[in-house]
Structure 1
Amino acid sequence: MANNRPLAVDPIAEAKRQWLAHGWTDAAAGMTAVTSLMRAQQLMLARVEAALKPFDLSFARYEMLRLLAFTREGRMPMASATARLQVHPTSVTNTVDRLNKAGLLRRLPHPIDGRAAVLELTDEGRALVDGATVALNEVFENIGLDDADVTELVSIVARLRKSAGDFRDPAPVPDPL
């Protein structure tokens, strides 16, 4: 449950104090980092969900619609969407089923692979995701940090993600002949 009032004490700082007091010194900084990231994610997700609520969208459904809207023709193979969203295929299937039922996208047979599907954004889906993006951009434009802090935060988290195996640097492009 969300707390609408700031706490008198930072519970993560208190947890760190307890970690140190119990002799878990080597783990205290990492525990603080992990729990800080998790709490920040909860806070940001609450703001995102509040912005999407008038559109009756979860963030997962929004991401799917936005992904399709970014394509030239508003369509892509379902397997490509799964890979790009970095979620389990079952989650994508559930998201697609709900969006299809709501008339926001269509699930079509793949023209070459009979076992695969192509997802296609409907006009209603495009209008909805465009409106939701305007609302979300209000969240994104003011996350509570200045531009320099945002740049530093994104850089640090990218290094964390990379070291966890989330992505690797692209291969260098050879110079033209």
Structure 2
Amino acid sequence: MAHLRPLPVDPLAEAKRQWQAHGWHDAAEGMSVVVSIMRAQQLLMARIDAALKPFGLSFARYELLRLLAFSREGRLPLASVVARLQVHATSVSSTAERLVRDGYIRREPHPHDGRAAMLALTAEGRTLVEQATEVLNGEVFTHPGINRDDATQLVSIVARMRKNAGDFADPRPQPEPL
């Protein structure tokens, strides 16, 4: 999917032109927004995948490790991981099983709920996620491909879009501690 040289024309601009040419004027701008965001996501994921490949991590596995590393004790209930990562419980369980198998996390019984499980970061998992974070910061996050002002505007615009879709509500002054 990646090109060695830039394309001579922006295919997304051409798609918008085609939408308009076919009389779909009311939908052309929205199609352009959706497809542009999806293409940007593909480009960013390719960079993330390349940065994480030496660590044997997918972004889903990295996110789970990073979330646990951010928690106060390096452990969280499975239900909290599902809520914070905003993915289906089955996906989190599958990702967690691979991380358990590889020795980066372990499953523990919940201290107060016999039906629930805790996910806990191992020392190996903490080392791996810190190393991967250093590479992601250096190769992707510090230079996402747009300047700081554009980044601030883009995050704000996408946050409004997410909020309008019901993804989150206005936060309280302080997030709840992990």
Please give the range of the TM-score, normalised by the shorter of the 2 chains.
Answer: over 0.9
CA apart distance, 1:172: 6.6
The residue number in structure 2 matching 1:112 is 112
Task: Give the number of equivalent residue pairs.
Answer: 173
SS at match of 1:159: helix
Deviations, residues 27-74 of structure 1 (Å, cap 9, x unaligned): 000000000000000000100010000000000000000000001110
Spell out the pairing of 1:1-177 with structure 2 (5 A cutoff): 1-138=1-138, 139-171=140-172
The alignment yields a C-alpha RMSD, in angstroms, of: 1.1
Give TM-score, length-normalised by structure 1: 0.95
CA apart distance, 1:18: 0.4
SS at match of 2:76: strand
CA apart distance, 1:163: 0.6
- Looking at structure 2, the residues matched to 111 and 68 of structure 1 have their Cα atoms a distance apart, in angstroms, of 17
- Looking at structure 2, the residues matched to 170 and 135 of structure 1 have their Cα atoms a distance apart, in angstroms, of 30
For structure 1, which runs of at least 5 residues remain unmatched after alignment?
Answer: none
- Looking at structure 1, the residues matched to 91 and 65 of structure 2 have their Cα atoms a distance apart, in angstroms, of 14
CA apart distance, 1:109: 1.1
Give TM-score, length-normalised by structure 2: 0.94
For structure 2, which runs of at least 5 residues remain unmatched after alignment?
Answer: none
Deviations, residues 125-168 of structure 1 (Å, cap 9, x unaligned): 00000000001001100111111001000000001111111111
Deviations, residues 86-140 of structure 1 (Å, cap 9, x unaligned): 0000000000000000000000111221111001000000000000000100110
SS at match of 2:72: coil
- Looking at structure 2, the residues matched to 54 and 168 of structure 1 have their Cα atoms a distance apart, in angstroms, of 37
